[in-house]
Chain A
């Protein structure tokens, strides 16, 4: 009997040992080629997957939906291209269809949310790591991931959420805010104000964690976060704060590319790409598709808009090429993909606009002229633009804003904002002799949630 007890005791003694190492045993990686990210470097590598996170190169992905630009008024498409080169779904967007979806994947939804997923994988992963071993790196990564997620949320909200109006935002729907990478977690459909609160919260939290300037421009930086906050406040029409953050951004990075240095005859004059461009603060691109109506291979720049460029304005040559209409070639990405990141020119224009709105006409015009002088052909003297009237200054600045930030994914938000403020911009398109229009503040300024997404809710 003694023997039996001893034996039983031995077995019982083994069990706890087995249980204690059980977790480790079951966490073993099934395959070596499948790397389970565990270190800060692994997470940095995830955020550095610029093809997905920033839409670099011709990956056709990126955090910025194309639907806004597709719906905006910077371009038109010839009937023959409309009939032959667009998919039904993409041509529906062009004519502002109420129900554009025909069953195709909507990459303007999918890819920005892929960026959200990448950020969440990093944020979830960081929670499992000990900050104290490398606190600076840890914080930097946290800041990068927060920025990346907030930036993608902002971009989605510009297309799929109604325009932010302070009094209505608390009741109007926003976008699903996915704050975890767990696929078993359901979507949280936030209100418009919750969406913007989350974006601002993430960005403001990121600012102290980020470095002033990034090692590479596909990584977020303090300058990018200030610039982004400035843009968000501008969208929310909180111009005083937008101006402050624009200033903070410009204090870190204030370089403007002199277009006189460019070879305007190149197929893509910004040949150096975004990483090399001194003006670029944060490098990222718009979701692309060869059949997108805004594909420069067949999108023609609005002729009225084109006619507003002065002959001495270098942008006229750097941005456009005659090809049965004016084809846009001015993407900082230096290919058919549209640059949609943050650059000094935009921040200067935000600053100028905000100052004008605050009545600081001189400051506003200085900012505008600082930019314009670098766009002017140095063979003829640049005459600074002057204004004595705040309203005139504002309209000058807004006009230059449109001309400077062409095809950067900003026009749609500007249309929504300016119409909300009473600018009364009515959009028309003529296709196959039929006229389509989009009146100001039309519900179609908010694109419908893709059918496939609805089907899962």
Chain B
């Protein structure tokens, strides 16, 4: 801040107060303009104490003032300016500096209820401005807020299966952990992919209690508040954005698979050991049907050129065919055009966007059309009416292309060929043996062969989403300093999912054939499951009405006291209806008929002889969320130095129990901020801005899993009678209530002289209580466990944001560093999931709470190396090497090794921006640390059953001495599944996930104010953007990229883009 100006203002204020007694009121007229374009600015608030007016379309204003007083000029998007209007100046022209021109300096956070200047807040806010949002090219909004603010973590790799993104760690056991997303002041209920990030002006992240608690029972996970663009500039301004992104095929070799040569020799060993004897001379239907590896089929056939053909197979790698034919280079295109402006009484914005994406998987496409408009109408000086709408329509289509995951249940054979020499699809006998298919149904059935490459186009899995949001409202100035705001929003999202396996698809043919009833004598076939395609439709209809009545107030008493706040209530009604049904015998040219399908009768199946019913799937569902909330907050500032804030909110919902609704205590927060730099004694010249703040409060979280009422499901009959019976699902719990997260946050904001270094450091502590979890209960109640508010967690951490201007001038260099620590652990959980430690090791990414540990944790068996005699895995049991697998397998959790959390505890990013005149280059490097992942390896029992097998097979123990070089056990037949499972969860197969990544790079060239032909360009920018640039460093010794742990590794993305304002 300009200290001179500040001194001036203080002096003027001082002078002004001495005038008060004698001064006379008179009318002063003037004009407000944009400091750069000199265009008049409309809607600027001009205020002196209780005197307030707004500039008109020509930027003109008139205000009644006592002589020579300081007047504050404010409008969103511009810097606030304080000017002393003197009688000597007959027509003052005030120029306001656009905020966007001051790089990265953001002043206002939006909570969804009010906009607060960051300099006055007590709580923890992070703000992402438009420039930063536009730096990234993406269809989805979430990509644009990644790695730019502290405290917001996007989990990657295996951890992504836990929580996709979190603000300051997870603080719930079973309820939803995703932050609340608010768009234009109301919670957004639709799919986040409906939102076009080009429409965004700003994103505020609310992290602590003081920031978020205005959202009450939904605030515990933090809040992401998205503000869309509004009409702003005087003359109509067009903005056009276009970009195209290309991403190469993923690296399939990142997935380790057993080499084809190893595989063939392994299968030969199994064959010689007699594992395939039943398949050799099949006597049962099961043996005829169950698929066996291609190499074994050859061995059974035993042709003269067997060895030659086997060595052919050994050269195959199924990933080559997959990469070439199933994967592709993805292409993403994005266009957006908007017009906005501000007329005499009206401001408007109309924006349209179009996205078209193809993904790396052949056959996948996504298209999105979005339209948004927002209009404000100044009815009188006191009443402002606004209305807006947003409409998004998207189409997503995928074919039958699971990529490398082609045969998830049986495992894809590494040497199988999917594509012939002429590029034709080859059959894959991965489900049934060829011999069975050739003779099944005496040759009367339709083709039963699976040709995976053909299947890509034979399935149309489409999702069509239409989302419409309408909002309207008014602002009315009841009294100077007191505004009434009424807002209403309606959102409707319709989603139609249509998954058609066409009549020629393998899926449909397989289903039809399985149920076909062949009569051998007559040679006729009956089709209980009719021939034709199989269509699954899923529809959902979400409707949400939200209304809000709110008073905003603001008052100054001289320069000493300032109070601002709001109070109001809101009501919310969200209904989601779903329906789904399945149709058999679908033919594109005629209507589907499945009325003739008999779902009651049991039919013998052609693949196993079991009698089963034809699967049927129909259902409807309806979910209703009702909320009534009352809220208030206020901030009081004294001498511009001390700010006290408090907020209060009470939620009542149909998800809570009667007691919680009637007597429930409100959620609240309070905070304090101290501008040390404003103190007279403060004289640290190198740190002209210094602010301390602290907050405490309670945020809530809700779960839809439990009901406060007794709920039942109906059964079609009892066990001994046919009257309807009803089973009680949960007992009535009138005390069911929201979860509570108690939050402490202390922060310091500072900046050095000339803003060279500025930043924020925050420490926080969270204590989550009343978490919903299963708990044992007195069985006298009729239940041995109950889902109630009984769990607890705690968390603590730190968020740091540092910005520095390393070099200023014609060449500039700026750095932005974000760093966060977020640790959470369970403090109270009454019902241990299992007494057996193995359950925890094998839990994958499911929630298995253990007191004192992070909610998602990795446990393992202490590795004790391989047995030098036979290559068996050994584990430490009571401090000595053991191969007592059953005993180790049944160890309790306490006797297992705790490795650590799945989610990173330390994370951050460093962004450097260099500019040289109109050129700008920036790149982001991010890091994550403190978490662990499990390294994949070979599973002995699996490769006997035919699963794909891991490349570690090549590193297995073969002879004494190998134990010094490898940790992969010997592969034995027959296998011992317990030995295999213990090895899978051995401590040797757990690695640190610490990593540093090169996130992205943006190079742009900007042109300001040029005339291109007849069009006057305000601003134009062309850029190249590279993302997913890969890992720079990882701590694990195996060289595994923790973000792509044994999955196809994404290739870098290259984008080219253009933004023009004219």
Task: Report yes or no: B624 in contact with A30, Cβ–Cβ below 8 A.
Answer: yes
Closest chain A CB from B348 CB (angstroms): 27
Chain B CB within 8 A of A7 CB: yes
In angstroms, Cα B858 to Cα A391, docked, is 73
In angstroms, Cα B734 to Cα A18, docked, is 22
Chain A residues lying within 8 Å of B628, measured Cβ to Cβ, are: 18, 22, 25-26
In angstroms, Cα B726 to Cα A125, docked, is 14
Closest chain A CB from B788 CB (angstroms): 8
Chain B residues lying within 8 Å of A457, measured Cβ to Cβ, are: 778
Chain A residues lying within 8 Å of B776, measured Cβ to Cβ, are: 452
Residue of A114, A120, A183 near B777 (CB, 8 A) is A183
Chain B CB within 8 A of A346 CB: no
The 8 A CB mask of A104-121 against B (1 = contact, 0 = none) is 011001100111111011
Chain B CB within 8 A of A56 CB: yes
In angstroms, Cα B707 to Cα A30, docked, is 8
Chain A CB within 8 A of B478 CB: yes
Chain B CB within 8 A of A383 CB: no
Residue of A42, A46, A275 near B721 (CB, 8 A) is A275
**CB under 8 Å from chain B, chain A span 178-237:** 178, 181-184, 187, 215-216, 218
Task: Report yes or no: B710 in contact with A181, Cβ–Cβ below 8 A.
Answer: yes
Task: Report yes or no: B713 in contact with A26, Cβ–Cβ below 8 A.
Answer: no
Chain B CB within 8 A of A435 CB: no
Q: A37 with B626: in contact, given A26-B653, A30-B655 (CB under 8 Å)?
A: no
Identify which of A47-55, A69-77, A440-448 touches chain B: A47-55
Chain B CB within 8 A of A453 CB: yes
**CB under 8 Å from chain A, chain B span 559-591:** 571, 573
Interface size class on chain B is 35 or more
Chain B CB within 8 A of A325 CB: no
Closest chain A CB from B700 CB (angstroms): 16
Closest chain B CB from A453 CB (angstroms): 6
**CB under 8 Å from chain B, chain A span 218-258:** 218
Chain B residues lying within 8 Å of A113, measured Cβ to Cβ, are: 779-782
Chain A CB within 8 A of B400 CB: no
Task: Report yes or no: B721 in contact with A45, Cβ–Cβ below 8 A.
Answer: no
**CB under 8 Å from chain A, chain B span 605-663:** 620-626, 628, 652-656, 661
Chain B residues lying within 8 Å of A100, measured Cβ to Cβ, are: none
Interface size class on chain A is 35 or more
Task: Report yes or no: A46 in contact with B782, Cβ–Cβ below 8 A.
Answer: no
Closest chain B CB from A444 CB (angstroms): 22
Task: Report yes or no: B715 in contact with A49, Cβ–Cβ below 8 A.
Answer: yes
In angstroms, Cα B621 to Cα A456, docked, is 38
Chain A CB within 8 A of B704 CB: yes
Chain B CB within 8 A of A28 CB: yes
Chain A CB within 8 A of B712 CB: yes
Chain A residues lying within 8 Å of B729, measured Cβ to Cβ, are: 34
In angstroms, Cα B348 to Cα A275, docked, is 75
Q: A453 with B778: in contact, given A218-B718, A218-B721 (CB under 8 Å)?
A: yes
Task: Report yes or no: A34 in contact with B707, Cβ–Cβ below 8 A.
Answer: yes
Closest chain B CB from A262 CB (angstroms): 19
In angstroms, Cα B715 to Cα A56, docked, is 14
Nearest B residue to A36 via CB reads B709
Task: Report yes or no: B484 in contact with A456, Cβ–Cβ below 8 A.
Answer: no
Chain B residues lying within 8 Å of A49, measured Cβ to Cβ, are: 715, 718, 725-728
Chain A residues lying within 8 Å of B653, measured Cβ to Cβ, are: 26
Chain A CB within 8 A of B973 CB: no
Task: Report yes or no: B780 in contact with A118, Cβ–Cβ below 8 A.
Answer: no
Chain A CB within 8 A of B731 CB: yes
Task: Report yes or no: B723 in contact with A216, Cβ–Cβ below 8 A.
Answer: yes
In angstroms, Cα B783 to Cα A178, docked, is 13
Q: A45 with B707: in contact, given A117-B782, A187-B778, A275-B721 (CB under 8 Å)?
A: no
Chain B CB within 8 A of A450 CB: yes
Chain B residues lying within 8 Å of A117, measured Cβ to Cβ, are: 728, 731, 781-783
Closest chain A CB from B475 CB (angstroms): 12
Task: Report yes or no: A36 in contact with B654, Cβ–Cβ below 8 A.
Answer: no
Task: Report yes or no: A50 in contact with B622, Cβ–Cβ below 8 A.
Answer: no
Closest chain A CB from B708 CB (angstroms): 9
Task: Report yes or no: B727 in contact with A22, Cβ–Cβ below 8 A.
Answer: no
In angstroms, Cα B721 to Cα A273, docked, is 11
Chain A residues lying within 8 Å of B784, measured Cβ to Cβ, are: 105, 110
Chain B residues lying within 8 Å of A41, measured Cβ to Cβ, are: 724
In angstroms, Cα B573 to Cα A456, docked, is 40
Chain A CB within 8 A of B786 CB: yes
Task: Report yes or no: B713 in contact with A35, Cβ–Cβ below 8 A.
Answer: yes
In angstroms, Cα B783 to Cα A110, docked, is 7
Chain A residues lying within 8 Å of B661, measured Cβ to Cβ, are: 26
In angstroms, Cα B476 to Cα A48, docked, is 60
Chain A CB within 8 A of B711 CB: yes
In angstroms, Cα B783 to Cα A453, docked, is 12
Task: Report yes or no: A4 in contact with B479, Cβ–Cβ below 8 A.
Answer: yes
Task: Report yes or no: B624 in contact with A28, Cβ–Cβ below 8 A.
Answer: yes
Residue of A7, A115, A125, A453 near B780 (CB, 8 A) is A453
Task: Report yes or no: B654 in contact with A27, Cβ–Cβ below 8 A.
Answer: yes
Task: Report yes or no: B712 in contact with A181, Cβ–Cβ below 8 A.
Answer: no
Nearest B residue to A273 via CB reads B720
Nearest A residue to B726 via CB reads A45
In angstroms, Cα B623 to Cα A309, docked, is 63
Closest chain B CB from A306 CB (angstroms): 30
Chain A residues lying within 8 Å of B897, measured Cβ to Cβ, are: none
Task: Report yes or no: B712 in contact with A46, Cβ–Cβ below 8 A.
Answer: yes
Chain A CB within 8 A of B396 CB: no
Chain B CB within 8 A of A292 CB: no
Q: A32 with B623: in contact, given A26-B653, A48-B725 (CB under 8 Å)?
A: yes
In angstroms, Cα B717 to Cα A56, docked, is 12
Chain B CB within 8 A of A324 CB: no
The 8 A CB mask of B691-707 against A (1 = contact, 0 = none) is 00000000000001001
Residue of A34, A120, A215 near B711 (CB, 8 A) is A34
Task: Report yes or no: A33 in contact with B621, Cβ–Cβ below 8 A.
Answer: yes
Chain B CB within 8 A of A57 CB: yes
Nearest B residue to A454 via CB reads B778
Closest chain A CB from B643 CB (angstroms): 30
Q: A7 with B478: in contact, given A33-B713, A456-B778 (CB under 8 Å)?
A: yes
Nearest B residue to A32 via CB reads B622
Chain A residues lying within 8 Å of B713, measured Cβ to Cβ, are: 33-35
Closest chain A CB from B750 CB (angstroms): 44
Residue of B654, B707, B731 near A25 (CB, 8 A) is B654
Chain A CB within 8 A of B549 CB: yes
Closest chain A CB from B528 CB (angstroms): 29
Task: Report yes or no: A118 in contact with B620, Cβ–Cβ below 8 A.
Answer: no
Closest chain A CB from B704 CB (angstroms): 6
The 8 A CB mask of A1-33 against B (1 = contact, 0 = none) is 000100110010010001000100111111111
Nearest B residue to A120 via CB reads B782
Chain A CB within 8 A of B899 CB: no
Task: Report yes or no: A50 in contact with B476, Cβ–Cβ below 8 A.
Answer: no
Task: Report yes or no: A109 in contact with B622, Cβ–Cβ below 8 A.
Answer: no
**CB under 8 Å from chain A, chain B span 428-479:** 476, 478-479
Chain B CB within 8 A of A176 CB: yes
Nearest A residue to B733 via CB reads A183
Chain B residues lying within 8 Å of A124, measured Cβ to Cβ, are: 732
Task: Report yes or no: A184 in contact with B733, Cβ–Cβ below 8 A.
Answer: yes
Task: Report yes or no: A48 in contact with B654, Cβ–Cβ below 8 A.
Answer: no
Closest chain B CB from A117 CB (angstroms): 3
Chain A CB within 8 A of B894 CB: no
Task: Report yes or no: A42 in contact with B712, Cβ–Cβ below 8 A.
Answer: yes
Closest chain A CB from B860 CB (angstroms): 28
In angstroms, Cα B738 to Cα A352, docked, is 61
Chain A residues lying within 8 Å of B316, measured Cβ to Cβ, are: none
Chain B CB within 8 A of A274 CB: yes
Q: List 28 A-B contacts (CB under 8 A).
A: A4-B478, A22-B628, A29-B624, A30-B624, A32-B620, A34-B729, A35-B713, A44-B723, A46-B726, A48-B721, A48-B725, A57-B719, A106-B779, A109-B780, A114-B783, A118-B782, A121-B732, A183-B732, A183-B783, A184-B734, A184-B735, A187-B778, A216-B721, A450-B779, A452-B776, A453-B779, A456-B780, A457-B778
Q: A50-B725, A183-B777 known; 4 other A-B pairs, CB under 8 Å?
A: A7-B476, A31-B623, A109-B780, A183-B731
